[in-house]
Amino acid sequence: MSPDQLAHVAWELIAQDKGLLAIDESIGTCNRRFAALGIPQTAEKRREWRELLVTTPKLRQSISAVILSDETIRQTTGDGTSFLSLLADAEIIPGIKVDAGTTDLAGHPGEKITEGLDGLGARLDDYARIGARFAKWRGIITIADGLPSRGCIEANAQALARYAALCQQAGLVPMIEPEVLMAGRHDIARCGEVTEAVLRAVFRHCYEQGVALESAILKPNMVIAGADCPAQPGLDEIADATLAVLLRAVPAAVPGIAFLSGGQPAELATARLNAMNVRFLGRMPWRLTFSFARAIQQPALEIWGGQRDNVQAAQAMLAHRAECDRAARGGGYDPTMEGEPHSGAPSPALIR
């Protein structure tokens, strides 16, 4: 795929005020979520759940692309139709998660490095051959006393850049996901400080590795306080803190920024994205959208519960969450759109 074609795919991912649905959880992560709801942790149940997701009516109205895992990209519906065929028919772009998960970073207690670079070029060629058009790699950064270390930031940034260069060589758009985790008691200022340092390192390494930023998408965390921080900021403070970091650290050549949800409650992730677009729409060099997993999936998963009779209701909830997120992309989301949300509305103090 030529550089111009890659850049075109990158723009398609963020076009028409749509966003991305991530269904790329590892088998272990998917099984843990099933176990919490009493759903059998089997390959067949995982297939049924993902079939529910990719066959949701009108999904294409809000979702431009879906991120798959190695298991999911090879799965089919009960009647034998491949998920890739279904997505193609719906004009939804298929992508693939290609990292091999995290492991302890040697010499850095409490920190992780993402693995999977060995043999990645050949795997990317295979995924491109079977129909993937973009890929995703996640690096994680923990905030704690004395963490993150410079060594951890640099190691993960370099891995993300090497992955991105290999993607473009294979004709795939790289989605670059450096995630500063929500876990911890840190305040929003500390999250902003770390997020900016991480993003600066990522793009410095991207330049060094020859990554064409016009053909890449960034998937970062929002700048928020740690989940256990007693002082939780409101929507406007989060919007201002997040955009302050992005405007300082993300080159204008990047066409789009697709936020991860990172464990935020569904309605709150939507409201926070909306606040950013309300306050900064037209003042940013890139487009802000969503690439949510749990924030779209979880309410529907709770309704489905592994029961065939609940498929239609679960799909209605999935479509609703995607529609709310699409509204937030244009700054048009309002909490009244939620009606009686299945998973509970955000605190009024957080939606001002």
Catalytic residue among 177, 179, 196, 267: 177
Residues near 193 by Cβ (< 8 Å), separated by ≥ 6?
A: none
* Residue 316: other Cβ atoms inside 10 A: 15
* Residue 292: other Cβ atoms inside 10 A: 26
What three-state secondary structure class fits 105?
coil
Report residue 155 CA to chain centroid gap: 21
Torsion of CA 231, 232, 233, 239, to 10 degrees: 140
Q: Is 228 exposed, middle or buried (0-12, 13-18, 19+ CB in 10 A)?
A: exposed
Fill in the amino acid letter for 14: I
| 219 included as an active-site residue | yes
| 196 included as an active-site residue | no
Catalytic residue among 12, 196, 219, 267: 219
Reference 190, options 225, 164, 148; nearest CA is 225
Packing angle, helices 311-329 and 294-304, rounded to 10? 160
Fill in the amino acid letter for 176: I
Instruction: Tell me how far apart the alpha carbons of residues 197 and 218 are, in angstroms, rounded to a whole number.
Output: 15
Reference 299, options 245, 329, 338; nearest CA is 338
As annotated, the active-site residues are 177, 219
